[in-house]
């Protein structure tokens, strides 16, 4: 790769971070707010089932297992994709894409790099936070007992897989965004995708709660690589072989995503209207 190519990518990252942090409070709410609501919902649910309802295990998981999953999954939910695929769809619809098409950069990649910049910061922040919380939690024996394999290295592996997930999430979104070339408005389609992702990424519930006969549903999508997979890795619930296999699967999804983007954008761009102006 040419030096100039690396330079624009670094500059785009810097620029994206500057843009995301232009409003400090907004950024803070984005970092702290988004993942805590699903986590709170999960905690209320587990409390009701285990403490009020009297359940001792669900799908082989105890109350402590559930809480550990909920807390660790917050870290990866923060890194799950942003909304820059929505930005792409809106740019196609409203003509904003014209600003990027004439620049000597790949528009899909450029938008991703600018959009992912704050996520890299958040990932680093979550990692430090996660490791600190993990070390502190070892003080409490019940928590330590529920998370025997939660180690800094597992957290780092988990975060790496979450980042692969972030890329795949954008690839799926960027492919769906090309519907805007045909229908003009693809907002609802992307919203449906996000709702499916919420359910099948493991952000709302651990995916092993799915009945055995329905496990194929989440296994046949890449969405579990966003939150469920990284959380399993961080909690040490996957073997080393399983971890490498999942990284391999993520790699294949990324190659597939790249092919899909190339094809859908190559076809769609001929229908671009460059409205406005």
Residue closest to 188 by CA, chosen among 41, 89, 267: 89
CB of 182 to another protein, least distance (A): 12
Query: Which own/partner pairs from 250-254 qualify as long-range (CB within 8 Å, at least 24 positions apart)?
Result: 250/161, 250/164, 250/165, 250/168, 250/222, 250/225, 251/164, 253/168, 253/171, 253/222, 253/225, 254/164, 254/167, 254/168, 254/171
Stretches 1-9, 144-152, 155-163, 222-230: which one binds another protein (CB under 8 A)?
1-9
Q: Note whether 34 binds another protein by CB under 8 A.
A: no
Stretches 14-22, 122-130, 160-168, 170-178: which one binds another protein (CB under 8 A)?
14-22
Selected binder of another protein within 18, 142, 188, 215 (CB under 8 A): 18
Which residues have CB under 8 Å from 124's CB, separation 6+? none
Nearer to another protein (CB atom), residue 101 or residue 255? 101
Stretches 42-50, 58-66, 103-111, 197-205: which one binds another protein (CB under 8 A)?
103-111
Stretches 4-12, 170-178, 219-227, 237-245: which one binds another protein (CB under 8 A)?
4-12
Alpha-helical (H) ranges within the chain are 3-20, 24-33, 36-46, 63-77, 84-94, 98-101, 107-137, 141-146, 152-177, 179-183, 187-200, 215-219, 228-234, 240-268
Selected binder of another protein within 27, 47, 210, 272 (CB under 8 A): 272
CB of 169 to another protein, least distance (A): 23
CA distance 105 to 62: 50
Q: Note whether 198 binds another protein by CB under 8 A.
A: no
Q: Note whether 14 binds another protein by CB under 8 A.
A: yes
CB of 259 to another protein, least distance (A): 21
Q: Note whether 25 binds another protein by CB under 8 A.
A: no
60: left (phi over 0), alpha (psi -120 to 50) or beta: left
CA angle 227/106/257 to nearest 5° reads 35
Stretches 28-36, 51-59, 100-108, 117-125: which one binds another protein (CB under 8 A)?
100-108
CA distance 223 to 196: 9
Q: Note whether 7 binds another protein by CB under 8 A.
A: yes
CA distance 254 to 258: 6
Nearer to another protein (CB atom), residue 106 or residue 256? 106
Q: Note whether 103 binds another protein by CB under 8 A.
A: yes
Stretches 99-107, 150-158, 199-207, 213-221: which one binds another protein (CB under 8 A)?
99-107
If you compute the radius of gyration of the chain from its CA atoms, what whole number of angstroms results? 20
Q: Kindly determine how many residues on this chain lie close enough to bind another protein according to the rule CB under 8 A.
A: 27
Selected binder of another protein within 32, 41, 44, 101 (CB under 8 A): 101
Residue numbers at the binding site for another protein (CB under 8 A):
4, 7-8, 10-12, 14-15, 18-19, 22-23, 95-96, 98-99, 101-105, 270, 272-274, 276-277
């Amino acid at each position: 790769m040419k030096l100039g190519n690396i330079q624009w990518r670094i500059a785009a990252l810097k620029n994206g971070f500057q843009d995301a942090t232009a409003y400090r409070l907004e950024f803070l709410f984005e970092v702290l707010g988004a993942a805590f609501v699903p986590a709170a919902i999960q905690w209320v649910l587990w409390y009701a089932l285990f403490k009020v309802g009297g359940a001792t295990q669900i799908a082989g998981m105890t109350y402590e297992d559930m809480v550990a999953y909920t807390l660790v999954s917050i870290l990866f939910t923060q890194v799950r994709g942003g909304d820059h695929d929505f930005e792409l769809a809106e740019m196609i619809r409203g003509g904003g894409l014209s600003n990027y098409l004439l620049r000597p950069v790949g528009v899909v990649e450029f938008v991703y790099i600018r959009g992912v910049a704050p996520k890299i910061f958040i990932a680093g922040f979550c990692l430090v936070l996660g490791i600190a919380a993990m070390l502190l939690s070892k003080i409490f024996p019940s928590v330590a007992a529920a998370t025997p394999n939660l180690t800094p290295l597992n957290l780092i592996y988990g975060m790496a897989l979450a980042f692969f997930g972030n890329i795949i999430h954008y690839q799926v979104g960027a492919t769906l965004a090309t519907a805007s070339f045909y229908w003009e408005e693809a907002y609802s389609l992307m919203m449906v995708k996000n709702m499916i992702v919420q359910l099948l990424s493991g952000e709302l519930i651990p995916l092993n709660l799915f009945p055995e006969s329905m496990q194929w549903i989440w296994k046949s999508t890449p969405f579990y690589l966003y939150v469920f997979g990284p959380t399993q890795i961080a909690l040490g619930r996957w073997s080393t072989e399983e971890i490498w296999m999942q990284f391999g699967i993520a790699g294949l999804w990324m190659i597939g995503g790249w092919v899909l983007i190339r094809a859908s954008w190559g076809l769609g761009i001929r229908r671009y209207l460059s409205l406005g102006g």
